[in-house]
């Protein structure tokens, strides 16, 4: 069995991150390393998780509900290729210039090569009484007490 891997720098999003975020990855993709797993009750689609701030150049903080996480910029020991499985329509497109029987049903596209990541490795700090609801446009929480 042969599974081809192609390069396809992000096609679906034409937007790019502002430089402040792009420094943590690429213009189009950032890896965030979290302890634990992000989940919400019910339908996840389009749900807001929290607020991400970047202060003093490279100090990210992530506010999720009443918890504040402090993160940092970490250079990866080895670059990571982010691959996305090609959807069926992509695979059909490919048969145009590739050999159809080889690509079979699966193929992967490298959408980005990242050399840094945003790491949140500390325990969350509870933010009592000064939490800004996600929806409101009030003052953002101070990252330092």
- Rounded to the nearest whole angstrom, what is the least distance from the CB of residue 1 to other proteins in the complex? 6
In 3D space, the residue among 103, 4, 8, 25 whose CA is nearest the CA of residue 71 turns out to be: 25
In 3D space, the residue among 53, 78, 75, 76 whose CA is nearest the CA of residue 64 turns out to be: 53
Residue nearer to other proteins on the CB measure, 25 or 68: 25
Q: What pairs with residue 87 in β-bridges?
A: none
Residue nearer to other proteins on the CB measure, 81 or 93: 81
CA gap 65, 127 in Å, rounded: 9
Residue nearer to other proteins on the CB measure, 44 or 130: 44
- Rounded to the nearest whole angstrom, what is the least distance from the CB of residue 132 to other proteins in the complex? 10
- Rounded to the nearest whole angstrom, what is the least distance from the CB of residue 84 to other proteins in the complex? 5
Binding residues vs other proteins (CB under 8 A): 1-7, 9-10, 12-18, 20-21, 25, 28-38, 40, 44-55, 62, 78-85, 87, 102, 108, 110, 113, 117, 121, 134, 140
DSSP summary character for residue 88: H
Q: What pairs with residue 73 in β-bridges?
A: 118
Phi/psi for 58 (5° steps) reads: -125, 30
- Rounded to the nearest whole angstrom, what is the least distance from the CB of residue 74 to other proteins in the complex? 12
Residue nearer to other proteins on the CB measure, 106 or 126: 106
CA gap 48, 133 in Å, rounded: 11
């Amino acid at each position: 069995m042969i599974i081809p891997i192609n390069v396809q720098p992000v096609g679906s999003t034409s937007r790019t991150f502002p430089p402040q975020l792009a420094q943590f990855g690429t213009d189009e993709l950032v890896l965030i390393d979290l302890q634990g797993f992000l989940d919400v009750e019910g339908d996840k689609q389009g749900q807001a998780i929290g607020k991400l701030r970047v202060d003093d150049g490279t100090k990210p903080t992530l506010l999720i509900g009443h918890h504040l996480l402090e993160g940092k910029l970490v250079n990866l020991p080895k670059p990571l290729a982010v691959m996305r499985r090609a959807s069926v329509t992509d695979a059909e497109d490919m048969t145009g210039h590739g050999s159809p029987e080889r690509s079979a049903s699966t193929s992967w596209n490298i959408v980005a090569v990242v050399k840094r990541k945003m790491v949140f490795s500390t325990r969350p700090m509870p933010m009592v009484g000064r939490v800004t609801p996600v929806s409101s446009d009030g003052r953002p929480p101070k990252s330092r007490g």
